[in-house]
Structure 1
Amino acid sequence: MNYINDNSHVYFELDVSDPSDDLFHVTVYPPQLNNGNNIYNFVSTAPGTYSNLNIGRFVKSFEAFDKDGNKLNSEKISTNKWQIDSPQNVYKIVYSMEDTFDADYTEDIIWPMCGSGIEENYILMNTFCVFGYFEGLQTFPTKLKIDYPDEWEAATALNIKDGYYYTTTYDQLADSPFLIGEITSKIVKVGDINVGIHVYSDADFLNAESITERANDILTAAGKFVGISPVDRYKFIMALFDQSTGQRNKIGPIGALEHSYSSLYAMYSNENTANILSNFMAHEFFHIITPLNLHSEIIETYNFAEPVPSQHLWLYEGVTEWSSHIMQLRGGLIDLKEYLSRQQQKLNTNANFFDQNYSLVQLALDAYNEKGAQEYQNIYQKAAVIACLLDLRLLDLSGGKKGLREVLVELTKKYGKSKPISEKNFFDDFAKYTFPEIKDFFDNYVKDSKPLPLKEYFAKIGINYIEKKKANDGTSAFGMFTTPTDNGKRNIFKFTGDYSEAGLKIGDIILKINGEELTPQNYFPIVGELLKKEAGTKYEMTIHRNNEEITLTVPLFEKHSYNAFEEMENPTPEQLKMRNIWLQNLPL
């Protein structure tokens, strides 16, 4: 192609016309460069991933040329940076790179929804995994053309004109994933928003039509919960692959990644996905409120070169997770008992698997280091419950006039996509906008990790919080939490029963129960049969500790339920009134 750049865009051409070679082939035609643009950057991280990506490690070749086709000197100076000599003479950059699905690497593993995949019948592409940017030109407009097989279709939130996708900045390009291939599509209306559902699936029963049918009620509930139309369009982009694809590509945790006008899903094409997909869609759709319209300056102009954490992860992910459940309750898709059960599950997960002295702000600031990575999933557990409590607190202080949903919509109108909240001052600004007491709430439960006021706040709506009670379901308790080892045994990492007399210790590896060798297949059946016996029943457990094999006699324990919620038998009229208000989307 004889392309002449008019200096109005950074122009990208992507050639994936032959997916069998398993590479992205990219040509970049820049505007006139100068010495300040002599670095071509691939991203080290990207919005919403909260992880180290280091996309430069997937580059297979990289060359720069002048307008006469002469090669210019270029040098890889770090994992993600290529330095180009004589940048003013650059006519085009040509490079190829692997997709992240099946690349051979062992550190900083990229989850599939945060990566890119080239398969026989489709391509899933987070654009930040393929396209980079010139130093100093991150805010420069871009133009993109993609060459793919004729029988394939492309789905993205970007608008196309005359075969080209245009963006105002690199950030917008990086925020716009693609699904290209043998896909099915369905367009529906959610309020005033045109919503597209675009699906590649290895299972015939999961397609755009069937997923839309399954998700219709939750999308309706989401539209009513959001209450406004902060975007004109939104795309659900889904690659649903079979187990063999996951095994071949060594795909780890599955899930979804939010973008401003879309969300990208990389999940298995099975019945379990069909059952949980609507919950994922509810969560991701609410991201049109935050972080799209409520975000700090750290998100506004993103630092792709070096991870910079935002302390407001509680807002971006915790509040969004809260919204995905409360919208189902208020939309009549789940009842109060189910909603409270989900809060109980989140509290138990928080208590059993995460550091109780680790605040949400500290979790956010540590998101890119090892400790933060270990604790990160608690943003969907503890932070979501804290958002529930914040909602109750706002309703109480306002006399039932507005809760968290209503405040978020008001703040969306106050700030919006192009006016960031203050990274430093937003806690104070939120309190000033609402009530002074909210500052104490943030200080105690978001900035600090003080015990949550569950009993006090839920009592306002006539619901009892019970920290611990006897289960009475005819089974006993194992009294410990374990994780699988590489050889199929179980590592003890937490006790909920008193094993001091039995002699068990944290870190012991369970080898056998009652003489039966543990395998990945038999562990849960063995424990399940064991728990049918009465509390106090003794059994033998063989463990490995300090290069020794030890057999101990250990007990079963009385089973308790933790962090339970129950409706009060005789709530007051005021409690019932507040509960009825809480169960509604209030007028905006």
Structure 2
Amino acid sequence: MSSSRQQLRLEIADTAARHFRVRHRIAELADDSIELYMPIWTPGSYTVRDYAGFVVDLEVSGPGNPVLEKVESNRWVVTGCEGELEAVYRVYAPELGVRSNDISEQHAFVHPPGTFLAVEGRESDSFELQVDAPDGWKVFTALEERDGKFIAEDYDRLLDCPIEMGDHEEREFTVKGRRHRLVVHGEGNLDLDRVIADTQKIVEHEVDFFGGEPPYNEYLFILHLTGGAGGGLEHMDSSVLGWPRLEFRPEKEYRKFLTLVAHEFFHVWNVKRIRPEVLLEYDYARPAYSRLLWIFEGWTTYYDEMICCRSCSSGPKGLLEAMAEHVQTEASRPGGGVQSLEQSSFDAWIKLYRANPDTQNTQTNYYLKGLLVAWLLDLHLRTASGGEKSLDDVMLYLWNEVALKGSGLPEGGAGALIQSATGIDCSDFLATHVENPGTLDFAAALATIGLQLQRKPDKEPDGAKAWLGASIGVKEGLSRLGVVYHGGSAHAAGLMAGDEVIALGDLKVGRGLKSRLQNYRPGESASWSAFRDGRLIHGEILFQEDPVGKLEIKPLPDASEAQKQAFQAWSSCSFDELTQKKS
């Protein structure tokens, strides 16, 4: 940490305009010119973001009449400096999200990478931040508070501590002598007492998993109840969680929320402290390319499912239902046979966060497939070692022998890591499942723990329904195709993403294409009409059967005692729970 300290002052400049104002004082300038820049990405979210585009009216002042010139989209040069400088600017806060700033009459959320400028070469300075919150509002952040101001030891720390403001209720619980806070913005159908109790169970389990000593002094959960989709972003000793305000019920949705909590908290270790070598030091002005995100996000996604089973009351049935859905989703995506997990990780900066109608046909999702490959790897290690080793051992090795020794995981180092942790050579496994694209086979792996993957029986008395092989939305009263899966019925018929299907079998469909498909069965054909870019086109479609269908994971009826014991070792639940009927 540098002995120099930069001073920041943050206030809401205009609530209706959704503008923050930042005053940034830099002293002890050794040169007559400096460079200011805004980060282009956020650790934990691997895509380039236009944070500088939300900076408004940047001005500088100080001795010597300094001159400001913008030289790149996110970079400014200031010349004519004499000893010190003040930069004043506003920041537009466009939306409620875990990676964006937000202002409303109810609260304000500060996402530091999109708020605070950096001084080139002075990132090691400490920072003193004064937050001028409206009357009656409290400030919630993981930053240390001294005499009414918040202190960050360097720019990394400043950017790693989001700030929530508002007249919010705060709840607390203690684990291993450490205070954990949860603050909620918004209203919804959550049972806050239950959320606190289950969050504490998750924290206790994960802390115990990694050795029983939390690597932080205290921890803050910021929960935003939203009108849109959920999501999260991890930080060293805090996390921001977004969840649809009315999706804490039914129980299946609540379990999904708990996996989000478990996921972001697991990142306390995996990715915030256990890092790829290329992320040991952050360069906020440039992307950091890694082929290892399938470990840091995929394995975390696997453990968020496992932890909710092992620590909470969801039980093994909820776990297997969730895993079957993950398998079904991956099996429905042709992209798994096109792009490898390593390439998906490397290309995150240009692909994963920029989905388009062709994404599922040509790309692998390192969260989803990474989760499933982690599962297969876990079962492979358990089988190969006779139950003596598992993926748990690999995670603990990463923590104890890599992170705590100040190292990162080198690119291409997964095989050596696994062998060091378990003594098992997984070169062939990694070549098949990680280094090359391909589909996943679960039959043999699931059998080792007494399970089987099967297709759910068709509910229709006369058999399977016709499969379009495309997602369907409604726009302006018309049925509009979204993803058109390669090799599916729609693709073979010449239909494209964006086509507005207006007739099937010479009958108008309007917004009801999904219900019209109920009238057809695999092997039957029909004429179709659609608008494509304003032109009326026609064709013929031959309906196929869904090659994947709805999947479920069930216990083998003749599972052996060894298989049942292996299931219990893997899930921390009794195999008999799978066959118990609801009372």
TM-score by length of 1: 0.84
Q: Compute the displacement of 1:63 (Å).
A: 1.8
- Please say which of residues 474-483 and 228-237 is displaced more in the overlay: 474-483
Whichever residue aligns with residue 387 of structure 1, its letter is A
Listed as ranges, the matches of 1:482-521 within 5 Å are: 482-484=471-473, 487=476, 488-491=478-481, 493-494=484-485, 503=493, 505-507=495-497, 509-513=500-504, 515-519=507-511
Question: 1:476·1:533 contact (CA, 8 Å) conserved in 2?
Answer: no
Distance 1:370 1:415 in 2: 29
Selected match of 1:413 from 383, 388, 400: 400
Partner of 2:174: 189
Selected match of 1:442 from 430, 441, 446: 430
Selected match of 1:401 from 381, 388, 403: 388
Deviations 1:87-143 (A, max 9, x none): 443332222221132xxxxxxxxx821110011121011111110211011222222
Listed as ranges, the matches of 1:264-283 within 5 Å are: 264-271=240-247, 275=254, 276-283=256-263
TM-score by length of 2: 0.85
- Please say which of residues 226-235 and 548-557 is displaced more in the overlay: 548-557
Question: 1:471·1:560 contact (CA, 8 Å) conserved in 2?
Answer: no
Distance 2:93 2:118 in 1: 18
Partner of 1:334: 314
Question: 1:201·1:269 contact (CA, 8 Å) conserved in 2?
Answer: yes
Q: Compute the displacement of 1:535 (Å).
A: 5.5
Partner of 1:143: 128
Selected match of 1:260 from 207, 224, 236: 236
**Alignment gaps of 5+ in structure 2:** 574-583
Match of 1:117, SS state, is: strand
Indicate yes or no: 2:225 matched with 1:240.
yes
Indicate yes or no: 2:284 matched with 1:304.
yes
Distance 1:372 1:182 in 2: 33
Partner of 1:52: 48
Q: 1:391 to 1:506 in 2, by over 3 A?
A: same
Partner of 1:167: 152
Partner of 1:361: 342
Partner of 1:29: 25
Question: 1:40·1:82 contact (CA, 8 Å) conserved in 2?
Answer: yes
Listed as ranges, the matches of 1:102-251 within 5 Å are: 112-203=97-188, 205-206=189-190, 209=193, 211-213=195-197, 215=199, 218-219=202-203, 221-223=205-207, 225-226=209-210, 228=212, 229-241=214-226, 243=227
Question: 2:111·2:162 contact (CA, 8 Å) conserved in 1?
Answer: yes
Question: 1:476·1:532 contact (CA, 8 Å) conserved in 2?
Answer: no
Q: Compute the displacement of 1:267 (Å).
A: 3.8
Partner of 1:249: none
Partner of 2:275: 295
Q: CA RMSD in A?
A: 3.2
Q: Compute the displacement of 1:532 (Å).
A: 7.2
Question: 1:28·1:93 contact (CA, 8 Å) conserved in 2?
Answer: yes
Distance 1:23 1:133 in 2: 19
Whichever residue aligns with residue 89 of structure 1, its letter is G
Question: 2:419·2:425 contact (CA, 8 Å) conserved in 1?
Answer: no
Q: 1:536 to 1:377 in 2, by over 3 A?
A: closer
Deviations 1:442-496 (A, max 9, x none): 2321222244342222222222345x67545646333122243754422260267
Distance 1:76 1:416 in 2: 39
Partner of 2:293: 313
Question: 1:366·1:373 contact (CA, 8 Å) conserved in 2?
Answer: no
Question: 1:64·1:90 contact (CA, 8 Å) conserved in 2?
Answer: no
Partner of 2:62: 66
The count of residues paired between Structure 1 and Structure 2 equals 552
Q: 1:192 to 1:346 in 2, by over 3 A?
A: farther
Question: 1:124·1:239 contact (CA, 8 Å) conserved in 2?
Answer: no
Partner of 1:457: 445
Match of 2:411, SS state, is: coil
Distance 2:338 2:151 in 1: 47
Question: 2:137·2:165 contact (CA, 8 Å) conserved in 1?
Answer: yes
Question: 2:140·2:163 contact (CA, 8 Å) conserved in 1?
Answer: yes
Match of 1:281, SS state, is: helix
Q: Compute the displacement of 1:341 (Å).
A: 2.7
Distance 2:349 2:154 in 1: 25
Question: 1:366·1:372 contact (CA, 8 Å) conserved in 2?
Answer: no
